[in-house]
Structure 1
Amino acid sequence: MKNRKILENLIYLAIFLIPLYLVRIKIGFLPTNAWEIIIAGIFLLWFFSNKDPKVEPLANQRFNLGFVKYFGMASLMFMGILMATFFSGNSTVSWGIIKGWFLVPIIFLFLVGEIIPKEKIKNIFLVYFFSAVGVAIVSLGYYGLGFLTYDGRLAGIFNSPNYLAMYLAPAVIIALEQIKVEKNKNYTIGFGWIIILGAFYLTYSYAGWFSVVVSCIILSLIKNKIELKKIALAMIIIGMLFLSQLNNKKMTDLLSADSRSSLSSRMMIWKASVKMLENNLIFGIGPGNFQKTYLEYQKFYPPYLEWAVPHPNNLYLTFWLSGGILGVVGFLGLVFFWLKDIFVKIKTESNEILFITLGIMLIILLHGIFDTTYFKNDLAIIFWLNFLALKN
Structure 2
Amino acid sequence: MLIILVYLTTLFIAPQLWIEPFVDMRIDYYVYPLWALAVFFSREKNPLTLTPLDKFFLLMLLWIVLSMAVNGFHERSTEIIINYTKWLVLFKLVSMTVTSADRLRTVALMLVFFALVLAVEGIEHKTGESGLGWAGQTLGWIDPEAAAAGEPGRTRWINIFDGPGVFCVVYTVGLPFVMQYVVTPFGFGTRLLGMGLVGLLLVAIYFTGSRGGFLTTMALFALFIAVRYKVSLMKIALVGGVIGAAFMLAPSHLTTLDDSSKSTKHRVEMWIEGVEMVQHNPLFGIGKGNFLKYTSKLIAHNSSIEIMGETGLPGLFFWIGLIYLSLKNVVFYVRDTEDERDKAYATALGLSVLGYIASSMFVTLEYETFYFLLGLCAALGFRLKQPIVFTERDFWAISGMTVGWGILIKAFVIIYA
With the shorter chain as reference, the TM-score category is 0.7 to 0.9
Amino acid at match of 1:251: T
Identity percentage over the alignment?
A: 18
Question: What residue is the counterpart of 1:162 in the other structure?
Answer: 165
Tell me the distance in 2 between the aligned counterparts of 1:258 and 1:116. 44
**Secondary structure at the residue paired with 1:182?**
coil
- Residue 388, structure 1, aligned to residue 388, structure 2: no
1:344 corresponds to which letter in structure 2?
A: F
> Is 1:182 matched with 2:175?
no
Return the alpha-carbon distance in structure 1 between the equivalents of residues 284 and 360 of structure 2: 21
Structure 1 residues 215 and 192 mapped into 2: Cα distance closer, same or farther (>3 Å)? closer
Residues of 1 paired with 2:120 and 2:35: CA distance?
Answer: 30
Return closer, same or farther for 1:107/1:60 CA change in 2, 3 Å cut-off. closer
CA distance in 2, matches of 1:284, 1:22: 37
Deviations 1:220-277 (A, max 9, x none): 323335499999888666544532314x3x534x2xx467533212111111211222
Write out aligned runs for 1:342-357 (5 A): 342-349=330-337, 351-357=343-349
Note the C-alpha offset of 1:357: 1.6
Q: For residue 8 of structure 2, what is the aligned residue in structure 1?
A: 15
Q: Which residue of 2 aligns with 1:314?
A: 302
Letter in 1 for 2:349: T
2:217 matches 1:212: yes
Give, as a single letter, the amino acid of the residue that structure 1 aligns with 2:38. Answer: W
Pairwise CA RMSD of aligned residues? 3.3
**Which residue identity lines up with residue 319 of structure 1 in the other structure?**
I
Larger relative CO (CA 8 A, sep 6+): 1 or 2? 1
Query: Which of 4, 23, 34 matches 1:42?
Result: 34
- Find out whether 1:325 has 2:313 as its counterpart: yes
Structure 1 contact 167–379 (Cα < 8 Å) conserved? no
Unpaired segments ≥5 residues, structure 1: 1-7, 26-31, 62-66, 296-306
> What residue in structure 2 maps to residue 272 of structure 1?
273
Q: Distance in 2 between matches of 1:322 and 1:82?
A: 11
Write out per-residue CA displacement over residues 294-335 of structure 1, whole angstroms, 9 at most, x where no aligned residue: 11xxxxxxxxxxx3x2x3122211222333333211111122
- Report the alpha carbon displacement of residue 163 of structure 1 after superposing the two structures with TM: 0.6
**Alignment partner of 1:137 out of 104, 115, 120:** 120
Equivalents in 1 of 2:281, 2:14: separation in Å?
31
**Which amino acid is 2:168 matched to?**
A
Paired with 2:5 and 2:34, the residues of 1 have a C-alpha distance of 11
2:189 alignment partner, SS class = coil
TM-score, with normalisation over the residues of structure 1?
0.77
1:47 shift after superposition:
6.5
Which SS does the other structure have where 1:223 is aligned?
helix
Q: How far has the Cα of 1:20 moved from its partner? A: 5.4
Partner amino acid, structure 2, of 1:10? I
Q: Distance in 2 between the 1:285 and 1:35 partners?
A: 33
Q: Secondary structure at the match of 2:364?
A: coil
Tell me, yes or no, if the aligned pair for 1:80 and 1:325 is still in contact at 8 Å.
Answer: no
Distance 1:38 1:18, change over 3 A: farther
CA 1:18–1:159: 2 relative to 1, 3 Å:
closer
Seen in structure 2, the aligned counterparts of structure 1 residues 185 and 91 have a Cα distance that, compared at 3 Å, is farther
Partner of 2:283: 282
**2:164 is the counterpart of 1:171:** no
How far apart in 1 are the matches of 2:32 and 2:208?
33
Contact 2:155 / 2:208 at 8 angstroms: preserved in 1? Answer: yes
Aligned length: 350
User: 2:149 is matched with which residue?
Assistant: none
TM-score by length of 2: 0.73
Q: Which residue of 2 aligns with 1:243?
A: 249
Q: CA deviation at 1:128?
A: 1.2
Match of 1:149 among 141, 146, 152: 141
**TM-superposed deviation, 1:355:** 0.4
Question: Residue type of the partner of 2:248?
Answer: F
What amino acid sits opposite 2:29 in the alignment? Answer: I
Detail structure 1 runs of 4+ shifted over 6 Å in the superposition: 227-235
Contact kept? 1:20, 1:34, Cα under 8 Å: no
Aligned to 2:59: 76
What does the per-residue CA deviation read over 1:145-203, in whole Å, with 9 as the maximum and x for residues that have no partner?
43342333222333321111122101111111133342342366554443322111112
Q: Aligned-pair distance for 1:33?
A: 7.2
1:106 matches 2:69: no
Partner of 1:368: 360
Change (3 A) 1:118 1:224: same
| Secondary structure of 1:133's aligned partner | helix
Taking the aligned partners of 2:312 and 2:306, their CA distance within structure 1 comes to: 9
Q: Could you tell me how far apart the structure 2 residues matched to 1:210 and 1:15 are?
A: 26
